[in-house]
Amino acid sequence: RGAVDMNFDGLPKRAHIREVCPRDGFQSVKDFIPTEKKLEFIEAMIAAGIREMEVTSFVSPKAIPQLADSAEVLSAVKARCGDAVRLVALVPNVKGAERALAGGADCLNYVFSASESHNRANLNRSVDESLAGLADVIALAKGKAELSVSIATSFMCPFEGRTAPARVTDLMGKALDMGADGICLAETIGTCNPLLFSETLAAVRSRFGDYPIYLHIHDTFGMALLNVKAALDLGYSRFDAAIGGLGGCPFAPGAAGNAATEDLVFFLNGIGVETGMDAASLVNVARSLQDYGLRTLGHLVVSSFGREKEGCCGA
């Protein structure tokens, strides 16, 4: 038997992790988490070393009732911890952007999908309509907050299958030409293998060089860390993750949770990519989520620390 051919030379020296559990994780939980409990979890995450966080989403409470308290959560975190963490709020339209700015968001994360089917399921509009809305949000945010764009289903779509790399680079180009300050590419359903994942990322590198891009990676088929390694090999070093691995898009049937922050930090630190965070501190926060009844948890919690996995929450 030959040794596994995996190269760890030439990786980025440091990775930046953006915590998304309070938005992507909590939105998948059916039973409403009281606002003060959300704030308790968020403050624990910040105390564990999180320095950038997508703290909530300003969407219709009819679509995602769990985030009906988004304004209260953002304003409270800004008041209590605003000096310690960069606060990001996901927004789908101008109305959401106005509310996020009123709450003191440092960055607006405008979301739309690469695939028409998912965009209509998620946002009830076409991709072209979302791009038109982006122009309005960019104008609104100018001089008040940074504006990042997250492109969902950048790798796979639950309705259309594989997303063509050329589709992704085309939409990225349009968003950047319109004035977006940053880009996040989302592996929304967690089914993309490292070969296809690398193919898309290589196409992005070919067109946009070393432009800093966030990668939002789900773990439905257990390939999140493999895809992180594939991204590192191509020089990418910015990742979204959720403590406990919580998450899942309500409009992506079958999608499981995100890459778990504690697993990601443990992995990166172990291969010599600095994160500035300690996995054990993050595990303590993940355990508090578990104790509360939020069950989609990272391997570091359920395996290395001797706790049994008891199912999952999230679509």
The one catalytic residue in 157, 249, 312, 313 is 249
**3-state class percentages of the chain: helix first, strand second, coil last, to nearest 5:** 45, 15, 40
- Rounded to 5°, angle at Cα 233 from 231 and 236: 45
Closest C-alpha to 28, from 310, 255, 248: 248
Amino acid at 125: R
Q: Is 53 exposed, middle or buried (0-12, 13-18, 19+ CB in 10 A)?
A: buried
- Count of C-beta atoms within a 10 Å radius of residue 300: 23
The strand pair at 161-162 and 156-157 is best described as antiparallel
User: Please, which residues bridge with residue 186 across strands?
Assistant: 216
Please state, in angstroms and rounded to a whole number, the distance separating the CA atoms of residues 235 and 257: 25
User: Helices 94-102 and 70-81 sit at what angle, rounded to 10 degrees?
Assistant: 30
Please state, in angstroms and rounded to a whole number, the distance separating the CA atoms of residues 188 and 165: 15
Catalytic-residue membership of 157: no
Tokens of 196: 């296809």
Amino acid at 297: L
What one-character DSSP code corresponds to residue 276?
S
* Catalytic sites, residue numbers: 249
